[in-house]
Amino acid sequence: MKLLLLLSLLAVSLSYIEGTVVCYYSSWAVYRPGKGIFEVEDIDASLCTHLIYAFAGLKTNGHIMVFDPYNDLCEDYGMCGYNRFTGLKKTHPNIKTTLGVGGWNEGSTKYSNMAADPAKRQTFISSTLTLLKKHNFDGLDMDWEYPTQRGGSPDDYVNYVTLLTELKEALHAEGMILTAAVSAGKPTIDAAYNVPAVSEQLDLINLMTYDLHGDWEPYTHHQSCLYPHPDDTGDTLTLNVDFAVTYWLEKGAPKDKLVMGIPLYGRTWTLDDPDQHDFYAPASRPGIRGPYTEEPGYLGYNEICESQTTSPGDWTIVHDPAMNEPYAYNLKESNLWTSYEDADSAGIKAQYALDKGIAGCMVWSIDTDDYRGICQGTTYPILTMINEVLSGGIYTKPTRPPTTTRDPSVTTPAPGEHCSVPGPNADDNDCTHYYLCTQLSEGWDEFEEKCSGGTLFNPVAKFCDWKDSVCALEPAVCPNDCA
């Protein structure tokens, strides 16, 4: 038995290699109207290495809670969602099917109270194991949003690690895995996570590099931009994918556990003035509800591309030359403005994940890709692109005429003292820091970032890496710091 357990755990550890694709499934998508309805059987499990069923919840006594017994369970003529979900392994035996617990709507207070109480922690762990084993799940995804925040306690910083430690021990003893969804925002990262300790307990770290901007701000922006926009300043310079990935790595997250999120939906606004529709355009209200997701300020990619396909004359699709992601506006549909991902921008992000050497990519959520193939005639175009790139393809940003409201005469400025390209720029004389550069029409805006202790800036990977790794590069770099 010990040998079998050892082999099982070894198989778990070997599954986290370059090319991991984690797919969240919004179980409530089964209730969406019309062509938006999404059943478990609509999941193309060949496009994911890990599938997460979202969500279970938490009772105040610490017991895990089935959110929607009718949809999730078989009892009382239910729809058997859990069993159908884990049943996908019958045709895809290598996939991991796990259960997510928490989510934004659950808040933080119940989880904070549970993590602080040894008895409630054990109630949570034992009830979770019972539920997972009953429905043949392969593990748990902890989606506590967020420790120390939103009604949590400062003690969560320590108690979260304690909870994960005990969960890991119990799950690994059953050959199961433990993953977690974590914040991409710097203030939350600093307050909520002892990154080295959290990372040690997790098999995968699902970094939610989206919702970086949204209708809670009175201006338009991209919710998942890879690098800062040229007009970003101050703290806004941290609201991008590259900063979040780099920051988690600098704080001690192992590259082979970190999974970068890519949203399969857009964030939307209603423009205050239809004549202002670039980045940072005034927009004090969320965009209108979509026909399927029915949430103000939010559109699934399927809703966006279907509308663009059926009413192409109503949309202006913009590829800002300074950014990797598209946005679009529809002045005939309530002055709607949306930032989103398409297959091209997702390919760029997947290539970024490869270049960074991290575990792979995660999507929220599989049920809002164009899974019916209505827009381009190909099902799951975004998720397919992610898979193609992570499988070894080298993605090159497509060459296209810029469709943009920005002045097309503006060119990339000449190299400055520290900046020559957007994004991280090395200091050839000092690898203990680097410069995060954004392109402005009149030059460059730079923001100095220092590497944490024991790391140096890797000019090849473009992030603060372990000193030994940087000093082993050929040709040699950082002669002053590697001496």
What average pLDDT score do residues 318-330 get?
96
The verdict on residue 435 lying in a domain is yes
Share of the chain above pLDDT 90, in %: 76
For residue 464, name the pLDDT band (cuts at 50, 70, 90).
low
pLDDT for the residue numbered 422: 64
What average pLDDT score do residues 331-359 get?
96
pLDDT for the residue numbered 285: 97
pLDDT tens across 229-238, in order?
A: 999 999 999 9
356 with 462, same domain: the answer is: no
- CATH number, domain containing residue 443: 2.170.140
- Output the six-digit token pair for 182: 């974590």
Ramachandran area for residue 373 (φ above 0: left; ψ -120 to 50: alpha; else beta)? left
247/242 Cα distance (integer angstroms): 8
pLDDT tens across 31-62, in order?
A: 999 999 999 999 999 999 999 999 999 999 99
150/167 Cα distance (integer angstroms): 23
What average pLDDT score do residues 104-125 get?
97
Number of domains in the chain: 2
For residue 440, name the pLDDT band (cuts at 50, 70, 90).
low
353 with 433, same domain: the answer is: no
- Residue 423 CB coordination number (10 Å): 20
pLDDT tens across 242-284, in order?
A: 999 999 999 999 999 999 999 999 999 999 999 999 999 999 9
370 with 429, same domain: the answer is: no
Whether 379 and 44 have beta carbons less than 8 Å apart is answered as yes
Nearest to 210 by CA among 283, 285, 264: 264
Whether 282 and 218 have beta carbons less than 8 Å apart is answered as yes
pLDDT for the residue numbered 421: 72
Q: Which residues contact 187 (CB under 8 A, 6 or more apart)?
A: none
For residue 478, name the pLDDT band (cuts at 50, 70, 90).
confident
Whether the per-residue pLDDT at 429 is higher than 50: the answer is yes
For residue 8, name the pLDDT band (cuts at 50, 70, 90).
very low
358 with 433, same domain: the answer is: no
pLDDT for the residue numbered 425: 80
380 with 445, same domain: the answer is: no
Whether the per-residue pLDDT at 410 is higher than 60: the answer is no
Whether 422 and 381 have beta carbons less than 8 Å apart is answered as no
358 with 443, same domain: the answer is: no
Q: How many CA atoms lie within 13 A of 134 on its CB side?
A: 14
The verdict on residue 319 lying in a domain is no
140 with 33, same domain: the answer is: yes
Classify residue 32 by its DSSP letter.
-
174: containing domain: 2-264+341-390
380 with 450, same domain: the answer is: no
The verdict on residue 276 lying in a domain is no
Mean pLDDT of the chain: 89
The verdict on residue 91 lying in a domain is yes
pLDDT tens across 365-393, in order?
A: 999 999 999 998 999 999 999 999 999 86
User: First vs last Cα of the chain: how many Å apart?
Assistant: 50
Pick 445 or 303 by higher pLDDT.
303
The verdict on residue 44 lying in a domain is yes
Whether 324 and 397 have beta carbons less than 8 Å apart is answered as yes
The verdict on residue 12 lying in a domain is yes
The verdict on residue 173 lying in a domain is yes
The verdict on residue 417 lying in a domain is no
Q: Which of 55-59, 134-138, 456-460 has the lowest mean pLDDT?
A: 456-460
27 with 101, same domain: the answer is: yes
3-state helix, strand, coil in the chain (%, to 5): 35, 20, 45
Share of the chain above pLDDT 70, in %: 87
248 with 139, same domain: the answer is: yes
pLDDT for the residue numbered 265: 98
pLDDT for the residue numbered 11: 38
pLDDT for the residue numbered 449: 72
Whether the per-residue pLDDT at 356 is higher than 50: the answer is yes
pLDDT for the residue numbered 424: 74
Q: At what angle do helices 156-173 and 2-14 cross, to 10 degrees?
A: 120
Which residues are designated catalytic?
145
Whether the per-residue pLDDT at 14 is higher than 60: the answer is no
50/94 Cα distance (integer angstroms): 9
Could you tell me the sign of the dihedral formed by the alpha carbons of 37, 39, 45, 46, in that order?
Answer: negative
117 with 179, same domain: the answer is: yes
pLDDT for the residue numbered 396: 54
- Output the six-digit token pair for 346: 């997702």
- CATH number, domain containing residue 260: 3.20.20.80
98 with 204, same domain: the answer is: yes
For residue 405, name the pLDDT band (cuts at 50, 70, 90).
very low
CA separation, residue 218 to residues 235, 270, 280, 345, 375 (Å): 16, 10, 9, 25, 31
